[in-house]
């Protein structure tokens, strides 16, 4: 039976009123509301059609802990190599970690997430565990591994890049310049991604974390306007994680990033701190940006979850709703007015009709 969604589309081209007719998971027709000529058995609903979201920064390995984290400093919590998180990873067995990661990935699938960019510590073994945990779930896992040896051992780095999608390092403060250059060079040769945390705990020099230039910077909570401008001009995207930042009394300057035209992606960060829900992250980002008196728009935030990540992944067609879409779109039973606002503030699993993976109640 055909499904016709009458309401609005939100995608790389913005928001517009339309109807979308589905045959199975495939879009068969798009047009102006009231002009479709479909006959026979058809189901009609009001709602929004959008690209499926991407969770653009996670640390899923620490999903092995679901208890309230201790009241300690940022450095004591996640600082390598002896922070609480790293002790937690060392103490957990491979099966325990794999099952926890699979549970977190399954939660994302249920929320309609089609891809996740994970910083996977623990070297080659850590990436292999992540790949096994994701098997059969229908979510693309972009694994940014992290080599164990310092100085970098070329054999380990080569083995890592053979199974990972790139490398995600801690920060320019914690990784030597030569380490970063070696990793970035190897990633370029292998046509893989190089990513780095930046200005998360305190402001770091922009010329340090851009040497060499990463494909992705994460957090930048202490960056200045000038830092943002330099990063923008370098063509580097920024992933932000407002909920985890807030746990340590910080916030990303979302409105400033929007005004300056940065390519911004949204992630949920450490799975030990909260559930990897992109919808909770979106709503928190929208509400918390008001606390600073500088408001990030709903359209900017919706793009950070549904559009910009697909561009970063080299899949721009996935960010567009059309007859030749690269991935099945998301269908939301929500009011069609102001779709970006609905997406940012009102999505739960209960309003997802089609999740980008399979039909639900369709």
Overall domain count for the chain:
2
> Is 362 inside any structural domain?
no
Same domain, 278 and 196: yes
Distance CA 112, CA 114 (A): 6
Domain with 237, as residue range(s), is: 54-312
Residues 181, 209 contacting (CB under 8 angstroms):
no
Q: What local confidence, expressed as pLDDT, does residue 69 receive?
A: 87
Strand 352-355 with 330-332, pairing: antiparallel
- Beta strands per DSSP E along the chain: 2-11, 14-23, 26-31, 42-50, 54-59, 115-120, 140-145, 166-171, 193-198, 216-219, 237-240, 264-266, 269-270, 330-332, 352-355
- CA distance to 101, 130, 133, 168, 212, per residue, from 94 (Å): 11, 10, 11, 21, 34
Distance CA 212, CA 203 (A): 18
Distance CA 147, CA 291 (A): 39
pLDDT band at 359 (very low <50, low <70, confident <90, very high): very low
Residue 359 DSSP code: B
Rounded to the nearest 5°, which phi and psi values hold at 95? Answer: -65, -40
Same domain, 114 and 216: yes
Q: What local confidence, expressed as pLDDT, does residue 356 receive?
A: 57
Average pLDDT over residues 134-161: 98
Crossing angle of the two packed helices 298-306 and 339-346, in degrees rounded to 10:
70
Interval 298-350: pLDDT, tens: 999 999 999 999 999 999 999 999 998 889 999 999 999 999 999 999 999 99
| CATH number of the structural domain spanning residue 344 | 2.30.40.10
Distance CA 130, CA 104 (A): 11
Same domain, 219 and 240: yes
Q: How many other C-beta atoms lie within 10 A of the C-beta of residue 322?
A: 14
Distance CA 140, CA 171 (A): 25
pLDDT band at 360 (very low <50, low <70, confident <90, very high): very low
> Is 306 inside any structural domain?
yes
> Is 245 inside any structural domain?
yes
Residues 270, 64 contacting (CB under 8 angstroms):
no
Interval 244-291: pLDDT, tens: 999 999 999 999 999 999 999 999 999 999 999 999 999 999 999 998
Residue 354 has pLDDT above 80, yes or no: no
Same domain, 83 and 142: yes
Alpha carbon of residue 133 to chain centroid: 18
Residue 362 has pLDDT above 60, yes or no: no
Q: What local confidence, expressed as pLDDT, does residue 6 receive?
A: 97
Residue 38 has pLDDT above 90, yes or no: no
| CATH number of the structural domain spanning residue 138 | 3.20.20.140
pTM, two decimals, is: 0.95
């Amino acid at each position: 039976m055909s499904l016709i969604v009458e309401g609005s589309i939100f995608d790389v081209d913005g928001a517009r009123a339309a109807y979308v007719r589905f045959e199975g998971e495939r879009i068969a027709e798009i047009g102006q509301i009231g002009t479709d000529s479909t006959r026979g058995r058809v189901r009609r609903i009001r709602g929004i059609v959008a690209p499926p979201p991407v969770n653009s920064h996670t640390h899923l390995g620490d999903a092995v802990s679901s208890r309230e984290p201790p009241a300690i400093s940022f450095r004591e919590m996640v600082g390598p190599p002896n922070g609480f998180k790293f002790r937690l990873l060392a103490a957990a067995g491979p099966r325990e970690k794999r099952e926890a990661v699979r549970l977190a990935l399954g939660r994302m699938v249920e929320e309609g997430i089609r891809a996740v960019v994970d910083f996977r510590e623990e070297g080659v073994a850590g990436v292999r565990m992540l790949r096994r945990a994701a098997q059969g779930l229908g979510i693309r896992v972009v694994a940014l591994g992290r080599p164990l040896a310092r100085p970098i051992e070329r054999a380990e780095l080569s083995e890592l890049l053979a199974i990972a999608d790139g490398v995600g390092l801690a920060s320019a403060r914690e990784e030597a310049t030569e380490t970063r250059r070696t990793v970035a060079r190897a990633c370029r040769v292998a046509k893989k991604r190089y990513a780095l945390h930046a200005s998360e705990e305190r402001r770091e020099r922009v010329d340090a974390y851009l040497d060499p230039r990463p494909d992705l910077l994460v957090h930048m909570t202490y960056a200045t306007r000038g830092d943002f401008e330099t990063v923008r001009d370098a063509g580097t995207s920024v992933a932000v994680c407002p909920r985890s930042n807030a746990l340590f009394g910080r916030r990303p300057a979302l409105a400033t990033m929007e005004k300056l035209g940065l390519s911004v992606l949204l992630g949920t960060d450490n799975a030990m701190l909260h559930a990897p829900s992109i919808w909770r992250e979106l709503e928190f980002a929208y509400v918390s940006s008001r606390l600073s008196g500088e408001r990030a728009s709903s359209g900017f935030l919706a793009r950070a979850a549904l559009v910009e990540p697909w561009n970063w992944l080299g899949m721009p067609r996935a960010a567009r709703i059309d007859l030749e879409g690269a991935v099945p779109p998301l269908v939301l039973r929500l009011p069609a007015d102001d779709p970006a606002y609905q997406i940012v503030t009102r999505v739960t699993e209960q309003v997802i009709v089609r999740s980008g993976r399979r039909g639900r109640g369709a």
